[in-house]
Amino acid sequence: MPDDPASPQPSSAQSSWRKGLSFRLLLLTLGVVLVVEALIYMPGIASYRNAWLGERLSQARTIAALIEKSPPDSLPPAVVEEVLDAAGISTIALRIENTRRLIASVETPRMVAYEIDLRWANIARDVMGTFNILLHGNGRTLRVIGPPPRGGDFVEIVLHEAPLREALVGFSWMILRDSLVISLITALAVYAALSGLIVAPVRRLAQAVSRFRDNPDNAATLLDDSTRQDEIGHLERNIAQMQLTLRQELRQREHLAQLGLAVAKINHDLRNMLSSAQLLADRLGMMPDPGVQRFVPRLTDALDRAIRFCQSALTYGRAEERPSRMEPLELAPFFRELGAQLLLDEASSPALRLHVAPNLKVLADEEHFNRVVTNLIRNARAAIEGAEPKIEGAMIRVEAARITRPGAAPVVEIMVADNGPGIPPMVQERLFHAFTGTANRGGSGLGLAIAFELMRDMGGTIRLENAVEQGACFRLTLAAA
């Protein structure tokens, strides 16, 4: 059945307000105050009952003292009945030395249905007795016992329940009215205070986050720095910093997307150029010159690697690397061949010094591991050659050793260290982050990020062991073969 257009519909603002934190806070405050008032009401009404009965006992003691001091039959029965009726008491009795003495009575004593003893205070008993009168009072006769006026064991009075119950109901309505007024005033005061201190700032934060979510490129949606020194101010400053960081990350990703598109466009042409160079290298390999025959295989291998390296930026942007093919790799001949490709040895500058045990093998993908170590050595070489002043005795040191720890599989730790200028502290924090973790002028910042991913894919680790002014040291860990 379609909705009647004439029927009133709650607005979205009203519905949102009812579901909001402010409305819940108001209800919670009202509920808490009412609960506190209820807890106060129970002993309060019990005290009111005892005070009401105590007042009747006091009147009874006064009447008993007056009757006892008067000569016998000096007070007409009509006067005694009028006094007792005015006090709401039907019978007054005094007990002395286990002898009960009837002082005055306006009617034949009735069967007592409920007894209240005010000589000993018990809050739980008094509360239960008061609610018994409120909930089950139906004109019963009560006997109330209290301390005597002078001497004796106790004084007791007999009265009707109806006046007491009527007084308790009136007191309850008064407490309820006052509780509602106090609850409403307290709730509004607490609500106003908490709304100004907490709810309103949280609402502003939520609106600011929503604006930033809808349009993060607009600088106007950024949250201003807060001057508050409390937790809300701390939260506002953190959100403002997060927005700035996220905005930079979004811009960087946009630039990465544009870079990936540019690399994709030039990748085809660059591969064609390298393929042509590879054909020329193959023709050179047909020459009988021994020197040419010695260097052409290395040149061909370098061109093959260059063709694969030209796709590194594009591959990284698409987060797609060929899965590692793990095979045993002997480290000593691997590093010697790598040094020959990079034209580095103990006599070169910088010198390449290898400290690798013979027959030491790791489980690794040779191509991926080659890319990792080549990047580390090239970075070390670039840092040394770009240092001012020039470093005497420049050296790149590679060490490898098998490590066996109790309860763990053996691993091989490879250290690549240099005595160059070191890595600045600002760069160390983002060393393995793409496009930001580079200390070399003109570097792209991709090499170490790719190396980190390749080592992780091979089940190994790479970390910066130290970064002091006299050089940098990277420690690589791979499973031993």
| Cα–Cα distance for residue pair 471/410, rounded to 1 Å | 29
| Cα–Cα distance for residue pair 350/344, rounded to 1 Å | 7
Amino acid at 68: E
Residue 77 within a domain = yes
Residue 157 within a domain = yes
Domain count, the chain: 3
Q: Which two tokens stand for residue 263?
A: 């690399």
- Asked if 161 and 140 count as a contact pair (C-beta separation under 8 A), the reply is yes
Q: Comparing 61-65, 233-237, 286-290, 346-350, which segment has the lowest mean pLDDT?
A: 286-290
Instruction: Calculate the alpha carbon distances from 253 to 246, 264, 434, 480 in Å.
Output: 10, 16, 11, 38
Instruction: Calculate the alpha carbon distances from 135 to 129, 164, 168, 169 in Å.
Output: 10, 13, 11, 10
Residues 351 and 418 in one domain: yes
Q: What's the pLDDT at 305? A: 65
Residues 269 and 150 in one domain: no
**Listed residue (414, 424, 420, 421) closest to 463, CA to CA:** 414
Residues 301 and 345 in one domain: no
Residue 432 DSSP one-character state:
T
Q: Are strands 327-330 and 361-364 parallel, antiparallel or unpaired?
A: antiparallel
Considering 147, 170, 186, which residue would you say is the last residue of a domain?
A: 186
Residues 131 and 157 in one domain: yes
How many other CB atoms are found less than 10 A from the CB of residue 2? Answer: 4
Q: What's the pLDDT at 7? A: 45
Q: Comparing 269-278, 279-288, 468-477, which segment has the lowest mean pLDDT?
A: 269-278
In the chain, pLDDT over 70 holds for what percent of residues?
Answer: 74
Amino acid at 393: G
> In which region does residue 151 sit, left (phi positive, over 0), alpha (psi from -120 to 50) or beta (all else)?
left
How many other CB atoms are found less than 10 A from the CB of residue 109? Answer: 13
Band of residue 285 on the pLDDT scale cut at 50, 70, 90: low
pTM tops 0.85, yes or no? no
Band of residue 314 on the pLDDT scale cut at 50, 70, 90: low
Q: Which residues contact 317 (CB under 8 A, 6 or more apart)?
A: 256, 257, 259, 260, 263
**Listed residue (370, 349, 464, 363) closest to 417, CA to CA:** 464
Annotate 65-78 with DSSP letters as a single string: HHHHHSPTT-S-HH
Residue 458 within a domain = yes
What average pLDDT does the structure give for the chain? Answer: 77
Residue 3 within a domain = no
**Listed residue (113, 110, 62) closest to 83, CA to CA:** 62
Length of the chain: 481
Q: Which residues contact 453 (CB under 8 A, 6 or more apart)?
A: 316, 321
95-106 per-position pLDDT tens digit: 766 667 777 777
383-429 per-position pLDDT tens digit: 888 888 888 888 999 999 999 988 889 999 999 999 888 887 777 77
Instruction: Calculate the alpha carbon distances from 466 to 127, 171, 418, 453, 471 in Å.
Output: 75, 80, 11, 20, 8
127-178 per-position pLDDT tens digit: 888 888 888 877 788 888 887 666 556 778 788 888 888 888 888 888 888 8
Q: Comparing 231-245, 415-429, 434-448, which segment has the lowest mean pLDDT?
A: 434-448
Residues 43 and 119 in one domain: yes
Residues 155 and 257 in one domain: no
pLDDT above 60 for 318: no
Considering 320, 345, 360, which residue would you say is the last residue of a domain?
A: 320
Residues 338 and 311 in one domain: no
Residue 430 within a domain = yes
β-pair partners for 438: none
Counting Cβ atoms within 10 Å, is residue 247 exposed (0-12), middle (13-18) or buried (19+)? middle
Residues 371 and 271 in one domain: no
Residue 425 within a domain = yes
Amino acid at 218: N
Residues 288 and 396 in one domain: no
Considering 142, 167, 186, which residue would you say is the last residue of a domain?
A: 186
| Cα–Cα distance for residue pair 143/129, rounded to 1 Å | 13
Phi, psi of 383 (to 5 degrees): -65, -40
CA dihedral 477, 441, 247, 250 (to 10 degrees): -70
Residues 395 and 255 in one domain: no
Residues 22 and 141 in one domain: yes
78-122 per-position pLDDT tens digit: 777 777 777 777 777 777 666 677 777 776 666 777 788 888 778
Band of residue 10 on the pLDDT scale cut at 50, 70, 90: very low
Residues 313 and 383 in one domain: no
| Cα–Cα distance for residue pair 222/356, rounded to 1 Å | 55
| Cα–Cα distance for residue pair 44/146, rounded to 1 Å | 20
Annotate 187-250 with DSSP letters as a single string: HHHHHHHHIIIIIHHHHHHHHHHHHHHH-TT-GGGSPPPP---SHHHHHHHHHHHHHHHHHHHH
Residue 177 within a domain = yes
Q: What's the pLDDT at 312? A: 57
pLDDT above 50 for 1: no
**Listed residue (452, 461, 454, 463) closest to 479, CA to CA:** 461
| Cα–Cα distance for residue pair 365/458, rounded to 1 Å | 7
Range of the domain at 78: 16-186
Residue 228 within a domain = no
